[in-house]
Structure 1
Amino acid sequence: MTSRNRKLIPEAKSGLAKFKKEVANELGVPLSDYNGDLTSRQNGSVGGEMVKRMVEQYERNL
């Protein structure tokens, strides 16, 4: 099965990975190369916080 998801800006991948690690570190979620041992709550908290911060940044730039 191939992924149909594609990045609109491929160069953003490394920036998002860095952002994810920063947020996870602040929340105390131990990210590594393999994150299958993390709970859904842990993964969701990182993703949710990332979206929250991106929305706040967008709103500040309006």
Structure 2
Amino acid sequence: MANNNTLLVPQASQALDQLKFEVAQELGIQLSPDGYNGNLSTYQAGKIGGSITRRLVQIAEQSLGGGMH
């Protein structure tokens, strides 16, 4: 089975990791620097993921000409 989460731009992985840490910090959630975050609750992980998604959508809308307001 193919991994559908393959990044088309390999450098994007670093940018996404940075975004994850920024969002977690803004939400007051401490992430482990070693990459293991099994101590996070499902709620916390969802808050981080949802915030990242919102931010990526905003970036995409801006790059496409200001979004749909």
Higher radius of gyration, 1 or 2: 2
TM-score by length of 1: 0.85
- 2:20 is aligned with 1:20: yes
Gaps of 5+ in 1: none
Gaps of 5+ in 2: 65-69
Which secondary structure state, in structure 2, belongs to the residue aligned with residue 15 of structure 1? Answer: helix
Q: 2:37 aligns with which of 25, 35, 39?
A: 35
CA RMSD of aligned residues (A): 1.6
Structure 1 runs of 4+ aligned residues shifted over 3 Å read none
Q: Which amino acid aligns with 1:24?
A: A
Number of aligned residues: 61
Quote the Cα distance in structure 2 between the aligned partners of 1:6 and 1:60: 24
Which secondary structure state, in structure 2, belongs to the residue aligned with residue 37 of structure 1? Answer: coil
Which has the larger share of helix? 1
Q: CA deviation at 1:58?
A: 1.4
